[in-house]
């Protein structure tokens, strides 16, 4: 079994982050292929490289030998089926259904947070965060919903673990990028969610991703709506 995972810049690429941290946490070996972001034009190096592997032209991409899987959720589902002994999803059937529902919400939801609070791991943007909350009620509403969803799960957790469904799962991997957004824009949350964000930042795999992102020192203009330079 030989996996290759194509990803974009760790500082910006939330979708790349999700399968990467899941594979790292569960010790699934893979070769990493970083394709740096550029202007994303049809003739850009990024698009040419990724489109030669997948017609979707986006990252992440997982290659299992010569088999190509695109989309972070599809990749994680594939890995869960390939490695049933690792319990990438919760083992309890009801928790598993809840985890899948939560991941589906992240996969297609929270558009205002995505739009106005893009992930930028190396940047500390507290003033930007406050301005966004002041000027965009839809962002504030989504953060309230997010806090309610995650806090209720964490409060109902009786396993003495710090993750959404007891042990770390795909659900935690999917919510890690939004936790980093809240942290770097200094968004105030409930104490329960704040503790969870701290746990996420110190979790195996996620901590590695953060450290690698800090070392990239790239500045991709299209991904920098709030800074003129590093």
Q: What is the pLDDT of residue 127?
A: 98
Q: What is the pLDDT of residue 157?
A: 81
Q: What is the pLDDT of residue 1?
A: 66
Number of Cβ atoms within 10 Å of the Cβ of 148: 12
Q: What is the pLDDT of residue 167?
A: 95
pTM of the model: 0.97
Architecture field, domain 3-86:
3-Layer(aba) Sandwich (3.40)
Q: Write out the H or E segment, with its range, that includes residue 68.
A: strand 67-70
Q: Residue 49 and residue 70: Cα distance in Å, rounded? A: 14
CA angle 35, 36, 41 (to 5 degrees): 100
Per the CB < 8 A criterion, the answer to whether 181 and 12 are in contact is no
Cα–chain-centroid distance for residue 38? 20
Closest C-alpha to 163, from 21, 24, 171: 171
For the chain, which residues make up each domain, given as ranges?
3-86, 93-210
Per the CB < 8 A criterion, the answer to whether 200 and 176 are in contact is yes
Query: Residue-wise pLDDT tens for the chain (230 aa)?
Result: 699 999 999 999 999 999 999 999 999 999 999 999 999 998 999 999 999 999 999 999 999 999 999 999 999 999 999 999 999 999 999 999 999 999 999 999 999 999 999 999 999 999 999 999 999 999 999 999 999 999 999 999 876 679 999 999 999 999 999 999 999 999 999 999 999 999 999 999 999 999 999 999 999 999 999 999 99
DSSP-H helix ranges across the chain: 14-25, 45-51, 72-82, 93-108, 111-116, 126-135, 137-156, 170-184, 191-201, 206-216
In the beta sheet, which residues pair with residue 5?
32, 62
For the domain covering 93-210, report its CATH number. 1.20.1050.10
Q: What is the pLDDT of residue 161?
A: 74
């Amino acid at each position: 079994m030989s996996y290759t995972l194509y990803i974009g810049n760790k500082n910006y690429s939330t979708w790349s982050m999700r399968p990467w941290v899941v594979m790292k946490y569960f010790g699934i070996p893979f070769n990493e292929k970083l394709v740096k972001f550029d202007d994303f034009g049809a003739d850009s190096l990024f698009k040419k490289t990724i489109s030669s592997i997948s017609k979707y032209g986006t990252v992440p991409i997982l290659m299992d030998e010569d088999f190509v899987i695109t989309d972070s959720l599809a990749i994680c589902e594939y890995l869960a089926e390939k490695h049933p002994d690792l319990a990438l999803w919760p083992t309890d059937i009801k928790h598993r259904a809840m985890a899948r529902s939560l991941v589906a919400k992240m996969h297609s939801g929270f558009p205002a947070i995505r739009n106005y609070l893009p992930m930028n791991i190396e940047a500390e943007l507290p003033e930007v965060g406050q301005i966004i909350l002041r000027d965009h009620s839809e962002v504030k509403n989504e953060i309230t919903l997010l806090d309610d969803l995650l806090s209720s799960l964490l409060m109902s957790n009786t396993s003495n673990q710090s993750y959404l469904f007891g042990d770390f799962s795909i659900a935690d991997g999917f919510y890690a990028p939004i936790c980093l957004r809240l942290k770097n824009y200094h968004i105030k949350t409930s104490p329960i969610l704040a503790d969870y964000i701290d746990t996420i930042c110190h979790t195996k795999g996620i901590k590695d991703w953060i450290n690698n992102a800090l070392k990239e020192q790239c500045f991709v203009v299209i991904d920098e709506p709030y800074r003129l330079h590093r």
